[in-house]
Amino acid sequence: MSEAESPKPEQHTLAAEPAAPARAPSASRGNGLALFALLLGAAGIAVGGWGLWQVRSLEARDQQQLSMVEEARGQTRALAQREQQLTERLEALPTAAELDERRRLLTDLQGDQQQLRQRLETILGASRKDWRLAEAEHLLRLASLRLSALQDIHSATALVQAADDILREQNDPSAYAAREQLAKSLAALRGTAQPDRTGLFLQLGALRDQSAQLDPLVPAFEDKGGVLLDLAADGDGGNAWAEWLERLSHYFRIQLNADQDIKPLLAGQQLSRVRLALSLALEQAQWGALHGQTQVYQQSLRQAREILDSHFNGENPDSRALLARLDELAGQPVEVQTPDLASALSALQAYLQRTPGAAAAAAEEPGTADPAEEAGQ
């Protein structure tokens, strides 16, 4: 091959090399179009999603607006009903003339009620005064009964004082004479000593309990002639005889002096009967002390003392103490001279006769309570 021909392949090679760069732009252009298409599709999807979200938002807003409209319609209907009710009430209201007439009737009714209340208070006040005066008379009668039946000075004083308080509340000058007699009765009652009957009753009860523990007379053999000494000198037989006589001395008593009373020996049922008689005598004395019966009280104490002297050992300390207490209680008063309330009762009744309502109330039922006062309570 010649040198002129050798360079041709190189030129062909050189000429063929520039063809490769012509393919590269077409490939990059295709890739760019694909990427643009993808971006355009993604943008379309985004625009479609945004549009769908806008549609949903609009639908939700429309539903909210519809609910607000329905609520407004309900409120409108409620306002219409309320307006209708107000209209009906306004139509039912009286007119100005009717209101004036009703106001006048109300004023007349209030005036009538006030007059009726005043009349009722006047009637009740008079009735209360009458019943209080009748109660004063009843209290005075009850005080007189307490004095005559029980000789209870304290209760009678309280009752007379209550009657005087009732008259003082009346503030009536015409009650001066009645109050004067009541004051005299109160002074007489307060100057009268009240015996302690309850204390006497309790003391006699304590003596009754003490009498159940008293010992009877116990005979004792007294060797004044030296008989026991002579028997004791005989030896053992004499000692046995002396012991036997000592035992017999507890069951038999020989008194050679005829001027002395022979006291019976007590044992068994006879001792129980004597103790029962003593207890009954003290119990009767209790009754006399409680009821203010001086004769019964003194007689019962004397009977109890006689039983003690006759059947119990006077040398016993318990018997001596019991006798001393009986003598002391016998000197205590159980009955008092009570004042007479007849003059005070007569003066009060004379005052009630000058008060017709009080006299009628007292004649109707003097022991009842005040009905006006109970109604007020």
Backbone angles phi, psi at 216, to 5 degrees: -75, 180
Record the tokens describing residue 169, joined without a space.
Answer: 């509340």
Percent of the chain with pLDDT over 90: 17
Max Cα distance, the chain (Å): 218
Model confidence at 192: pLDDT above 90: no
Give the pLDDT score at 163. Answer: 93
Instruction: Kindly tell me if the per-residue pLDDT of 84 is higher than 90.
Output: no
Which pLDDT belongs to residue 283? Answer: 92
**Residue 107 CA to chain centroid, in angstroms?**
47
Whether the predicted pLDDT of 345 surpasses 80: yes
- pLDDT tier at 157, thresholds 50, 70, 90: very high
Residue 66 has pLDDT above 80, yes or no: yes
More confident residue, 95 or 324: 324
On average, the pLDDT of the chain sits at 76
Cβ contacts of 244 within 8 Å, gap of 6 or more: none
For residues 130-159, average pLDDT? 89
- The amino acid occupying position 158 is A
Asked if pLDDT for residue 101 goes beyond 50, the answer is yes
- What is the per-residue pLDDT across 346-366, written as a single tens digit (0 to 9) for each? 999 999 888 765 555 555 544
pLDDT of residue 158: 94
Q: How many helices (H) and strands (E) does the chain have?
A: 14, 0
pLDDT band at 141 (very low <50, low <70, confident <90, very high): very high
Higher pLDDT pick, 181 / 245: 181
Which of 274, 227, 269, 275 shows the shortest CA–CA distance to 248?
Answer: 227
Class for domain 109-193+338-376, per CATH?
A: mainly alpha
pLDDT, mean of residues 263-274:
66
CA 210 to chain centre: 41
pLDDT of residue 8: 44
| DSSP secondary structure, 163-226, as one string | HHHHHHHHT-GGGHHHHHHHHHHHHHHHTS----HHHHHHHHHHHHHHHTT--B-------SSS
Confidence of residue 188 (pLDDT cuts 50, 70, 90): very high
Q: What pLDDT score was predicted for residue 369?
A: 40
Confidence at residue 139, expressed as pLDDT on a 0 to 100 scale: 93
Q: What is the domain partition of the chain in residue ranges?
A: 109-193+338-376, 195-217+268-335, 218-262
Name residue 254's amino acid: I
Give CB contacts under 8 A, 24+ apart, made by 281-287: 281/307, 282/204, 282/205, 282/207, 282/208, 282/211, 283/204, 283/208, 285/204, 285/329, 286/200, 286/201, 286/204, 286/205, 286/208
What pLDDT sits at residue 276? 87
CA gap 178, 183 in Å, rounded: 9
